[in-house]
Amino acid sequence: MSECQPANTSMDPNAKLWEEGSVAVDTGRYQRLVGKLIYLSDTRPDSAFSVNVVSQFVHSPFEEHLEAVYRILR
């Protein structure tokens, strides 16, 4: 992530996040990343909506959800 370009918005406005996805990802890793984003959203209120959206999928995350988390981190 140190060499990635920053994103203009914290979430892609055309992204469709559903309960089902293509490839399941590690739930523990996803939960840790979302937990860190929740902590950071106290200091970055502009990312609060995006963090709220991705936190809805902590019980069964898929690759699309993890990509949305990485975009918020950028």
- In tens, the pLDDT along 12-59 reads 666 767 677 788 899 999 999 999 999 999 888 888 888 999 999 999
Query: Looking at residue 36, what is its pLDDT?
Result: 94
pTM (predicted TM-score): 0.78
Give the separation between CA 41 and CA 62, rounded to whole angstroms: 22
Q: Please report how many Cα atoms fall inside a 13 Å half-sphere around the Cα of residue 51, on the Cβ side.
A: 20
